[in-house]
Amino acid sequence: MEVRPASGDIIISALGKPLFLGDIYDESTNTFTNQGVFNMWLDLLPDSTKFEDLNQWSQTYFFRQPEFYKWLHLGIDIHQHIFLKGSAIGDSQLWFSDYINHSPPDGWAQITIHFSSHGCKISVADVQLLLRMVKSYADPSAHVVSEIMYGANSLLILEEPIGIGETKESAEDRLFHAAKCIAEGGQDIVGLSDFAQCRFYSDLPGENPLSGSLIECFSNVEEILNKMQDSHFHIPVKATLIPLSIEVTFRSSSSCLDNVLYVLTMISNLLSEALNELFSLLADPLVQRTTRMRPYLMHFLGCLNQLSIVSNQILTIDESGRNERRMERAIHLWRTYFANRQLTEWLFLRRRGMVIVNSLLQDINLPFLATTELPDLTAGQSRQIFILKTVKRKDPFLEQFRLDFGTPESPEWSILDIVSSTNDHIDEIRSKLMEFAESDNGLDIQRFICTSSDHEDAHIITESVEILDDNIRGTRLLKRGNPSIYLLQPDKRMDIDQFRWLEMGFGSSRRSSHHRTLLLMGASGTGKSTLVDSIVNFILNVQWNDPFRFRVNPESCDNPTKLVTAYTIHYVDGMSVPYSLTIIDTPGYVGDVESDIQATQLIANFLTHEKSRQTYPTIDAICLVANSNMKIASSAQSNVIEAVKFLFAGCDYASKAHWCCTFASNCKKTPAVLETIPPSIFPTDLHYEFENSILFAPKRIRSINETQEDYVLGQMYWDKAWDNYRSFFSQWNSDESHWTVPPIADVARNPVCICSS
């Protein structure tokens, strides 16, 4: 029974009884009278009833809950429970009486799924008319049925002997996972043995209880579950009762408070269980060996503590005596976090993952690390890494908690992909890992087990370092692989508002007196930031066979550039150009007039900033970056051209402007983008073509069936890309005059104006 304190209405379960609108409920005897009499009167009145289609389906899981929870969830509150126990008939009149009176044998685990279907609601349109019709026939303390919900209910009970080495709790967790597979229509029901038994009850008329093995009963269970979703078979499952007098409203608030206390007691018990299990997980040695699991578990602990605080606040005595809000909050907590064993399932999945990983590592004496924890290799060292794939995703439970309580957004968590695998697949991975750990090729090779989201599971990679460690000094590892990717660390850095100046010199005192500056401008998505990385790798003389690549920006290439950043690489011996180089990367133009005006003003402010004018007073090339495959001029590209005309008004910018055509896979054909820019719009046709996709491409080990020609294809693409960069930088091999950016006064005097045509 659910009470609405503000109105005195009661929502009560039908428990298999026939019900009609207008029936009178006597709470003292728990009976309905005038069966259908007033319903016939209502049928004679036009528009006397309302119909609402629900089409709702749900399942709830029972195990390790207080006994009263089962009664309460199935629709029997404390008042009805006491009445049934005290009556001559007792609870034998209930469709689930055998379930209530049954306990599993000693040494067996049990879990129950409650399936519930709500098809429609039929209610009285004019409640006042109904009250006038029945008042003369009923006791003032009675309630009258004003609304009926039609549907069906069933219970599926799974039981299985507790296995050798199992506890009752672990067996119940295993049964719970199997029950979820059944309830959600999974084809592979994992975790059940051949000894699993089931019992099935339904409140549909004519359906007798089923019992036997799951295989024997499964087809009949499926048939009844399908029948439950057919409205032709639905029966009354709930009724809304309205009071005939105001006095009933005051009496019903105590029932509401009783239910609040019972719900909060169950929440407290389940929170205590969850905390005990969580502390057990935190004490597991695997958590101490890895860095990823502990923050995940501690975040969950914070959620449990918050739930405990909120439930205690609800339990605090409300001096005003109004319990409606408390009941709503208690029921919300219960349904959202406890009713379907959400906490238990979360902990079960974490426990299952740890059990799987521990079973994989059993008798294997190899370090288990995250990829970021792998020690750096020095010259002459080699290692092999056994990769266990992880999947990064948001945790639905933690996301729901964030929405409810406004806690800080949780990150994407790394989950081992193998946790959701079948037992056969886990055994296959275990065999591969054993073979990996026991292999001995006579070489001094370090071996590790680690996790990564960038590889398939059970992927083995071999790494070696054949260069001196000094060559990558001043870097930070971003991604380990073949090749590994390193972030160049600046020796000097200055950040002012939306401007950044970064200088990298590798600690060398041998500097060139020559310096060149490139300004990159272009539409968003044309590959400016990747072009910067490619230029840096070229001037640092990185070759295809090197096991490393460099980046200057740690952010993903997919993230649009929002700042103006100047990267200065000071000359050192071994670079492919005989001078220091500054590359100015700018925000991408998007085609929106207002946004592109802001981008142009940002670039102007950067070029005229005191720091810029002191560090690089000249610009040697304006690099207009464009997608070579673009066949139609975009508004963003037009805005880039207008911005160049504005920024360098009064200068011979045409002689310094170059089209840098990216994504240029067809070197025999003129880039299509150049055909969209006639000389009348922009007086330069000097262009260079770049294909940068090869820069961070992984290098594979040559397979048996692969020809030498196929295998060296990557080397060919690399050589072609580097030839294009040599051609681009060869224009500055000899000394030549270059010009300065416009004076600050000139730029400040000109209003930024872009034509979006």
> Looking at the structure, do residues 498 and 404 belong to the same domain, yes or no?
no
Least confident of 100-109, 444-453, 665-674: 444-453
- Confidence category of residue 254, pLDDT binned at 50, 70, 90: very low
Mean residue pLDDT across the chain: 76
Q: Comparing 367 with 644, which gets the higher pLDDT?
A: 644
Per-residue DSSP letters for 702-741?
Answer: PPTT--HHHHTHHHHHHHHHHHHHHHHHGGGSS----EEP
Tell me: pLDDT of 119 over 90: yes
> Looking at the structure, do residues 721 and 580 belong to the same domain, yes or no?
yes
Least confident of 71-80, 271-280, 420-429: 71-80
Q: What 3-state DSSP class applies to 470? A: helix
Q: Based on C-alpha coordinates, what's the Rg of the chain?
A: 37
- Confidence category of residue 250, pLDDT binned at 50, 70, 90: very low
The domain total for the chain is: 3
Q: What is the CATH number of the domain that holds 696?
A: 3.40.50.300
- Confidence category of residue 486, pLDDT binned at 50, 70, 90: confident
Residue that terminates a domain, selected from 215, 244, 273: 244
Amino acid at 654: A
Task: Give domain status of residue 207, yes or no.
Answer: yes
What percent of the chain lies above the pLDDT cut of 90? 10
Task: Give domain status of residue 28, yes or no.
Answer: yes
Range from 201-215, 261-275, 466-480, 675-689 that averages highest in pLDDT: 201-215
Residue that terminates a domain, selected from 437, 466, 495: 466
Q: Comparing 510 with 537, which gets the higher pLDDT?
A: 537
Q: Comparing 486 with 363, which gets the higher pLDDT?
A: 486
Identify the pLDDT of residue 710. Answer: 56
Tell me: pLDDT of 85 over 60: no
Q: In what order do the strands lie in the sheet with 564-569?
A: 492-496, 499-504, 564-569, 580-585, 515-522, 621-627, 657-662, 687-689
Per-residue DSSP letters for 313-357?
Answer: HHHS--TT---HHHHHHHHHHIIIIITT-HHHHHHHHHHHHHHHH
- Confidence category of residue 249, pLDDT binned at 50, 70, 90: very low
Q: Closest by alpha carbon to 565, among 511, 467, 657, 495?
A: 495
> Looking at the structure, do residues 235 and 259 belong to the same domain, yes or no?
no
Least confident of 59-73, 115-129, 281-295: 59-73
Tell me: pLDDT of 570 over 60: yes
**Alpha carbon 598 to its chain's center:** 34
Q: Closest by alpha carbon to 196, among 232, 157, 164?
A: 157
Least confident of 4-13, 97-106, 210-219, 358-367: 4-13
**Full domain range(s) for residue 567:** 487-749
Identify the pLDDT of residue 487. Answer: 86
Tell me: pLDDT of 465 over 50: no
> Looking at the structure, do residues 273 and 351 belong to the same domain, yes or no?
yes
- Confidence category of residue 256, pLDDT binned at 50, 70, 90: low
What is the distance between the alpha carbons of residues 301 and 399, in angstroms, rounded to a whole number?
Answer: 14
Q: Comparing 427 with 119, which gets the higher pLDDT?
A: 119
- Confidence category of residue 363, pLDDT binned at 50, 70, 90: confident
Tell me: pLDDT of 42 over 80: no
Task: Give domain status of residue 481, yes or no.
Answer: no
Q: For 324-333, what is each residue's pLDDT tens digit?
A: 667 677 777 7
Identify the pLDDT of residue 82. Answer: 53
Tell me: pLDDT of 508 over 70: no
Residue that terminates a domain, selected from 212, 244, 276: 244
What is the average pLDDT across 185-206?
Answer: 78
Q: What is the largest CA-CA distance in the chain?
A: 111
> Looking at the structure, do residues 533 and 652 belong to the same domain, yes or no?
yes
Q: For 152-185, what is each residue's pLDDT tens digit?
A: 999 999 999 988 878 888 888 888 888 887 777 6
Q: Comparing 266 with 606, which gets the higher pLDDT?
A: 606
Task: Give domain status of residue 482, yes or no.
Answer: no
Task: Give domain status of residue 218, yes or no.
Answer: yes
What percent of the chain lies above the pLDDT cut of 70? 74
Task: Give domain status of residue 96, yes or no.
Answer: yes
Task: Give domain status of residue 427, yes or no.
Answer: yes
Question: Which letter does DSSP use for residue 225 in this model?
Answer: H
- Tell me how many degrees the CA angle 317-319-321 measures, rounded to the nearest 5: 90
Identify the pLDDT of residue 653. Answer: 78
Q: Comparing 224 with 445, which gets the higher pLDDT?
A: 224
> Looking at the structure, do residues 330 and 216 belong to the same domain, yes or no?
no
> Looking at the structure, do residues 145 and 196 belong to the same domain, yes or no?
yes
What is the average pLDDT across 4-11?
Answer: 58
Q: What 3-state DSSP class applies to 494? A: strand
Cβ contact 574:472 at 8 Å = no
Amino acid at 456: E
Considering Cα of 660, then 661, then 663, then 664, what sign does the dihedral take?
negative
> Looking at the structure, do residues 215 and 292 belong to the same domain, yes or no?
no
Tell me: pLDDT of 521 over 90: yes
Q: Comparing 471 with 103, which gets the higher pLDDT?
A: 103
Q: Comparing 93 with 628, which gets the higher pLDDT?
A: 628
Q: Comparing 144 with 387, which gets the higher pLDDT?
A: 144
Cβ contact 426:418 at 8 Å = yes
Q: For 532-559, what is each residue's pLDDT tens digit?
A: 999 999 988 888 878 888 898 876 555 5
Identify the pLDDT of residue 554. Answer: 74
Identify the pLDDT of residue 751. Answer: 41
> Looking at the structure, do residues 232 and 331 belong to the same domain, yes or no?
no
> Looking at the structure, do residues 179 and 309 belong to the same domain, yes or no?
no
Q: Comparing 498 with 335, which gets the higher pLDDT?
A: 498
> Looking at the structure, do residues 429 and 560 belong to the same domain, yes or no?
no
> Looking at the structure, do residues 310 and 272 belong to the same domain, yes or no?
yes
Range from 136-145, 286-295, 510-519, 716-725 that averages highest in pLDDT: 716-725
Identify the pLDDT of residue 149. Answer: 93
Contacts of 544 (CB under 8 A, 6+ apart): 699, 714, 715, 718, 719
Task: Give domain status of residue 583, yes or no.
Answer: yes
Cβ contact 371:390 at 8 Å = no
Identify the pLDDT of residue 191. Answer: 64
Identify the pLDDT of residue 186. Answer: 60
> Would you put residue 580 in left (φ > 0), alpha (ψ -120 to 50) or beta?
beta
